[in-house]
Structure 1
């Protein structure tokens, strides 16, 4: 297992229920993408997803399966252009690597850069081949706070939306960029972090919202509860309601965080403006939004499962048995589910 960076002495240890949990977390992200594809919702949320470090053949940084990549691949069946935005404190290296050579996915990451995991995400890393200039990286230093973050996040995302014109957006909301995180070094509050979510939501584009990092657990819960309220346009109170984990929120038992006054912002106004202007100039050089020729749409990943679920809505109907290994519906009689003689062949997989 060490070949895949899994096991003892790695940052991806084995634990009981590992496969089942990863299966559920990844499946939820994919199913959210399916719902967006079919117009069943305009916003889908999976706070257990957002594992942006995993690679094709390697677990990394507590991430075993890259559910983000799987969800984006599902979105690409229906959407010509997908934008991925990452506000975790760590660079979204696994997602960037997966789509580094294609223009159908633009990745944009705001992250701590330097002597910090995973060590990637330089502003000069812009993609390759067809994907050149479709990877956007905004490297930051420690101490980043709400006002400075908003001043670089909003103009860059606005320019991407204007130039790239994505038809779907995936937003990774890692909570380790908050003040007080055990592994982080930023100074964002819930207002600053949540304002990024609100800004992206405001474009009205189909949106898949995912979790990510976060190592001060009480603040992770605060963050994603607050951002759920932002996405639902449902205000929540400042007082934490009583629950089984109430004592975790002592001593104030309040929702919002206060930034650390002793943490200096190492990002100067001049350095942020220089990086912002460099990225805006690069984006201005893009020659319009890439298009996609008409193509057959591959079937949904869970089309057979959905067929079973639909028929099972009748309480008097016995759902057909399902082969869990192949996903195929088992026949109780040779004549069942016989293909029509005029049925077209299944579409070929898309090349992204």
Structure 2
């Protein structure tokens, strides 16, 4: 594999939030991941940035003003005054109010948005934000531990320069929030590989959810049964992605790398190894398109850190030792202290070869209905917009406010991602600060 230019976005505060006692979503997993990435020395091979923090204006590119205003104002201390709003916005047990909730959303969303900006400006080939990938959040409400859908917001940014964006989701849960946002447009194809059936959350993702209106056949779902292993997963992943690439012909990819599809996950029921999960990431890297790589689910902290560290190395095409280097979270990786622990099978593989072959055939037939990749009238982009070497606007907020063709919040829901929104001025990353990293 040829070397790629990689930018890695990390806010030192993003791992310090707490959803509450007993909650399976633990932002600390991000700190554990980052520590491992640093102690493997991978920072030497990529540009590490402290990202821009998203404003409410950025979040309202997709979400409603009322919902974002609620997230900005509600706290554990004043929660009693928001009783009706909590129910209205689906905030409660799964998506609790915790200290710093809005700041947390601002951090992970800003990192994904800035990654998209860097890709638009051709500053890198791959942008990584392991804190992002919160794919369940809806326009008007929280869902599945997700509050702000950073993925949708990043894709809207990418659509300013890219006629077609491919979204790929390997989280064990269906990427319902992203699919819903772009269900009516032919400019974004969503492809989700997930557990489906037996009331598994979120309950969507049947193969026959194909999209509608202009977006018909642009939603691709691969419903899997429990216990799938590396060989079976790749048996379906590779041909589906190859078919999508042939018929959709995207110019950019967003990859959500939810680690709850790994064996041994607290909430999952698949049998993927870290190498198997990483093989999907490697396959996407080798497609050679600008790629935004995001995190997602993952509820066994040590395995989340292992997977995303290994995948950072794969994206850099850098070999790493299986022996975990000493770091402040070293005891998390006991007793073996290895990057690739033995897979302990908790579920039998219920996915027969025949079942997976039938899925691949069905997806292939649906893709044929596209006939050809959609044509999009792209506006000419003035040459002084693109090169990274040119001086950017003073701040991301200022650049965003000046983007007259930023896709409005309703565009994603209505399938609009229209040609008129394809060539606006991107939110600049002028104040992106490289992190000081210790060896």
Global fold match (TM > 0.5): yes
User: 5+ residue gaps in structure 1?
Assistant: 310-323, 329-344
**2:332 maps to 1:244:** no
| Aligned-pair CA distance for 1:243 | 1.1
Residues in 1 aligned to 2:349 and 2:228: alpha-carbon distance in whole angstroms: 5
Cα deviation code 1:100-144 (max 9, x no counterpart): 000000000000001200000000000000000000000001001
**2:106 maps to 1:23:** yes
Instruction: Report the 3-state secondary structure (helix = DSSP H, G, I; strand = E; otherwise coil) of the residue aligned with 1:308.
Output: coil
**Which residue of structure 2 lines up, in the alignment, with residue 171 of structure 1?**
255
- Bigger Cα displacement from structure 2, 118-127 vs 15-24: 15-24
| Aligned-pair CA distance for 1:84 | 0.1
Residues in 1 aligned to 2:147 and 2:378: alpha-carbon distance in whole angstroms: 35
Residues in 2 aligned to 1:287 and 1:184: alpha-carbon distance in whole angstroms: 37
Pairs within 5 Å for 1:1-352: 1-2=85-86, 3-7=88-92, 10-114=93-197, 115-295=199-379, 306-308=392-394, 327=398, 347-350=404-407, 351-352=416-417
User: With structure 2 as the length reference, what TM-score do the two structures score?
Assistant: 0.69
Conserved? CA contact 2:182–2:215, under 8 Å: yes
Conserved? CA contact 1:229–1:235, under 8 Å: yes
Conserved? CA contact 2:193–2:223, under 8 Å: yes
| Aligned-pair CA distance for 1:176 | 0.2
| Aligned-pair CA distance for 1:347 | 4.1
User: 5+ residue gaps in structure 2?
Assistant: 1-84, 408-415, 418-439
| Aligned-pair CA distance for 1:269 | 0.9
| Aligned-pair CA distance for 1:297 | 6.4
Residues in 2 aligned to 1:235 and 1:188: alpha-carbon distance in whole angstroms: 21
Residues in 2 aligned to 1:91 and 1:269: alpha-carbon distance in whole angstroms: 22
Residues in 1 aligned to 2:379 and 2:175: alpha-carbon distance in whole angstroms: 30
Normalized per residue, the structure richer in helix is 2
**Which residue of structure 1 lines up, in the alignment, with residue 39 of structure 2?**
none
Conserved? CA contact 1:77–1:297, under 8 Å: no
Cα deviation code 1:265-300 (max 9, x no counterpart): 011111111111100111122111111113376999
Q: RMSD of the alignment, in Å?
A: 2.1
Which structure has the greater CA radius of gyration? 1
Larger relative contact order, structure 1 or 2 (CA cutoff 8 Å, min sep 6): 2
Inter-CA distance 255–346: structure 2 relative to 1 (3 Å threshold): closer
Q: How many residue pairs are counted as aligned between the two chains?
A: 316
Residues in 2 aligned to 1:84 and 1:346: alpha-carbon distance in whole angstroms: 24
Conserved? CA contact 2:165–2:254, under 8 Å: yes
| Aligned-pair CA distance for 1:24 | 1.0
| Aligned-pair CA distance for 1:307 | 2.1
